[in-house]
Amino acid sequence: MAMKKVAHVVERPGRKFGDAPVSIPVPVDLLSTPGIPSRERDVSFFSREYPLENMALEESASVEWARVERERFTPESIEFFDEHQKQMEPIVEWVRVSGELEPTGTPDGEDVTEAIRQKARELGYGEVGFTRNDAHYVYNTRKPQMRKDLPHAICLALEQDYRKTQTIPSMEAEDTHFGTYFDQGPLTMELTAFIRSLGYNIQVSGPTWHYGPMIPLFVAAGLGQLGANGQLLSPHFGSRARLQIIYTDANVTYDQPIDYGIHKFCQECQVCVNRCPGRALMPDKVWYRGIEKNKLVFKRCRPVMARYEGCGVCMKVCPIQKYGMKPVMEHYVETGGILGKGSDNLEGYELSDKGYFGPGKLPSFKREFFDMPHGRAEDWLLIEFRNKLLENKVKNGEGENEDLLWEDFRSRMEESLEGREVSADMGMDRGI
Ligand code: SF4
Ligand code: SF4
């Protein structure tokens, strides 16, 4: 007899276009709220007074540091990353100016939701959903470039290779991570051409150049819920996907947020929290910018990402990523347990210089491992410069030559301004 009583069953389209739909049971004890618990007034307050900003700008101080560390730990990743950047350049350029593309047809007034959904599924997108374009989730510096006349958002998730993802952290996993960004390019070009042929305008967010964080819109469109690993857990492939949004004025109907039970399931599971090499994931949820979530601590994550092929252990060890939501929830209903938890198959991973870590075992790092520049590059340079001047004062002018300090400060500041278009870290967003 099943251990848990089922509250409702979520019906979702199959994983690939043409596959049979799936039914996901959600037990009573995991019920919380469709989407994510939020306080709209707080979301509005933070978005107005402390607008969101792109990590590539907010954490630009560590860009060069991360590159040096990557080169030290995995020199092959630098060449790979540079090659990827080169290949992505035309796609990113197209994304940036996509809002200037004109419609090529005339709208007939019909609702085109299902026509767009079908076209996107035929092209290979695993999850497709429709919601409103929410201005709370637009980066401050990208607001001027965003069209104000596109009220709807089409959320698109493209699955990345299963087998390669299970080798995380590795260059093979990086290959599917970046390869999926590359695949997104031509697919969106074709999908937006279709929407324009229906007579509508578009503007594209991603890959590699985004108007804002995308997960809140995907959750609003019912495509999954936010996991404790900070990633979108979608029904078929969890977070093993790359996300994109097309903003449009097409005549569409919105999907609704869904309670898949993930908000509470993560508190039972906690595998990613326990397996994170950097101890960067928090076990308890907190209210942050009007949303209740498990907050990731960036300064404990980035030093690991930079040195271990983008890390991603939190994606690899997630049972929803590995087995899919249906088997995981069915197992929970039947047994009250977490599918795969405690097994090497789910939880094991290897770090290049440290070896294999099975369930219950974690690598240790010296405190200095987590030392890195923080915040914006220009702020960090200024702090460093001020500290050197202060040091000079203490040494009564016997320290470094102040003219040379000025010169060094100025040239590094100019260098950092020139580098504002560089990705923050291995394919994350660009600065401007
Ligand atoms: S990427 Fe690695 S270090 Fe960062 S949160 Fe995930 S598991 Fe932890
Ligand atoms: S590993 Fe478990 S706790 Fe972490 S995101 Fe996946 S389901 Fe949630």
* 429 against 237, higher pLDDT: 237
Ligand 2 lined by 226 (C-beta under 6 Å): no
**DSSP code of residue 426:** T
417 CA to middle of ligand 1, Å?
A: 29
Ligand 2 lined by 220 (C-beta under 6 Å): no
Question: What's the chain's average pLDDT?
Answer: 93
Ligand 1 lined by 315 (C-beta under 6 Å): no
pLDDT band at 406 (very low <50, low <70, confident <90, very high): confident
Q: 160-198 burial, b if ≥16 CB within 10 A, otherwise e? A: bbeebbbbbbbebbbbbbbbbbebbbebbbebbebbbeb
Ligand 2 lined by 229 (C-beta under 6 Å): yes
Ligand 1 lined by 278 (C-beta under 6 Å): yes
Residue 374 CA, chain-centre distance (Å), reads 20
Pairwise CA distance, residues 137 & 51, whole Å: 9
Domain ranges of the chain: 1-375, 377-421
Whether the pLDDT of residue 380 is over 90: the answer is no
The whole-number pLDDT of residue 392 equals: 81
Q: pLDDT tens digit string along 170-227?
A: 999 999 999 999 999 999 999 999 999 999 999 999 998 999 999 999 999 999 999 9
The CA dihedral of 153, 242, 234, 162, to the nearest 10 degrees, is 160
Whether the pLDDT of residue 319 is over 70: the answer is yes
pLDDT band at 432 (very low <50, low <70, confident <90, very high): low
End-to-end CA distance of the chain: 57
The whole-number pLDDT of residue 429 equals: 62
Mutate to test the pocket of ligand 2, among 229, 240, 328, 345 (most ligand atoms within 8 A of CB): 229
Ligand 2 lined by 272 (C-beta under 6 Å): yes
Q: pLDDT tens digit string along 80-118?
A: 888 998 999 999 999 999 999 999 999 999 999 999 999
140 CA to middle of ligand 1, Å?
A: 26
Q: Whose CA is nearest to atom 4 of ligand 2?
A: 272
Mutate to test the pocket of ligand 2, among 265, 281, 294, 332 (most ligand atoms within 8 A of CB): 265
Measured CA distances, 248 to 101, 113, 119, 252 (Å): 12, 11, 15, 9
Ligand 2 lined by 271 (C-beta under 6 Å): yes
Ligand 1 lined by 317 (C-beta under 6 Å): no
The whole-number pLDDT of residue 420 equals: 58
